[in-house]
Amino acid sequence: MELKIENLEVTLQKNKILNRVSLTVKSGELISLLGASGCGKSTMLKSIAGLLDIEKGRICLDAKEIQNMAPEKRGTVIVFQDLRLFPHMTVEKNIAFPMELKKVPKARQKEIIKKLLEDVQLPGFEKRKIKEMSGGQMQRVALARALACEPSILLLDEPFSGLDEKLRLEMGALVRKLQKERKITTILVTHDKKEALQMSDRIALMSNGHILQYASPTEIFQHPENRQVAAYFGKANYIEGTVQKEQFDSDYISCEAKGYADGKYELLVRPFDVKVIAEGSAVEIREMTYLGETVDLYLQDEKQTFYAQDISARIHAAGLMEGAKAGIEFAPESICLFPEEKE
């Protein structure tokens, strides 16, 4: 089902948390609400679920307004960070809980529970008590319980934040697999940019109750609409230059700038697009930090410092060391220019 939010405003304790936010989630799409704590992403999720009163705006599900409906009638299901499972009940009874409320026949409940446990890779766990399970297993039970509701919209409020990296990746892959198979319209709240980039069809990056940019992972990373969006996705280099007749020229790189008006700009260059070369002496390797497969480098020339990331094996094979002189090349994967910021 398609979800459409129009000019949503929410005030909590006299503080405006959401300020005229609009967003459309296509049917069967998984989007992420991404941003730092306090930006409004969980407030938006709870507003969709009907757990918070909205001040203004519309929330529509397949063109039907739901903002005045009771939470249980909206067809939305939310999985919280703390999961909210019943610890002394069995897995079977936890998953059955929403079906009991709907008065689903017992025989049908057992069929659904068996299939859901297979889907979340916990076959045969029906009689296990929640308090006897690991964190990752409880996450799977919470997901199964949510799916048992047959939601029109699945809402995930940072459900993986308490897991280690390996389990986060496993749960993310499982959620994405089941979401695609069942074609469930899904909204994930996260502050983890890597998680958002890996899982989402589109990402809504939020700040101070606004959406800064709403785009595909590739678009938002390669073509951020402003420096605030660019900065959220990691350190970057900015090279000052000038565009004339759709050609960008600077002291370091020249490239086509199709669609950009004449003027002064800064070219965004991500760390992996800075190539360090053994031959040459344009920069000094001021700092080198080994990170296993990759290495971080800070490179200094007469004008500025550049931040680079490269494959450790390549840097080692080239004989490059901290304090050494090296050449430098810039090869951005895509051209992204920002008008030069004035002091």
Mark whether 214 and 87 lie in a shared domain.
yes
pLDDT tens for residues 313-343? Answer: 999 999 999 999 999 999 888 899 999 876 5
Structure tokens at 43: 């407030």
Mark whether 68 and 215 lie in a shared domain.
yes
Mark whether 270 and 222 lie in a shared domain.
no
pTM: 0.89
Percent of the chain with pLDDT over 90: 74
Mark whether 151 and 18 lie in a shared domain.
yes
Mark whether 240 and 190 lie in a shared domain.
no
Inter-CA distances, 310 with 227, 269, 291, 293, 301, Å: 23, 14, 10, 9, 19
Mapped onto helix, strand or coil, the DSSP state of residue 312 is helix
Final residue of a domain: which of 177, 195, 230?
A: 230
Inter-CA distances, 219 with 145, 205, 206, 233, Å: 34, 12, 16, 12
Final residue of a domain: which of 176, 196, 230?
A: 230
Mark whether 54 and 147 lie in a shared domain.
yes
151, HSE (Cβ side, Cα atoms, 13 Å): 27
Final residue of a domain: which of 214, 230, 246?
A: 230
Mark whether 197 and 246 lie in a shared domain.
no
Ordered DSSP codes for 171-192: HHHHHHHHHHHHT-EEEEEES-
Mark whether 207 and 300 lie in a shared domain.
no
Mark whether 170 and 258 lie in a shared domain.
no
The contacts of residue 249 (CB under 8 Å, 6+ apart) are: 241, 242, 243
Angle at 46 between CA 40 and CA 49, to 5 degrees: 145
Mark whether 48 and 108 lie in a shared domain.
yes
Inter-CA distances, 251 with 244, 255, 276, Å: 15, 12, 17
pLDDT tens for residues 153-195? Answer: 999 998 888 778 888 888 889 899 999 999 999 999 999 999 9
pLDDT tens for residues 118-156? Answer: 999 999 899 999 888 888 888 889 999 999 988 899 999
Per-residue model confidence (pLDDT) at position 215: 97
CATH number of residue 31's parent domain: 3.40.50.300
The parent domain of residue 243 ranges over 236-339
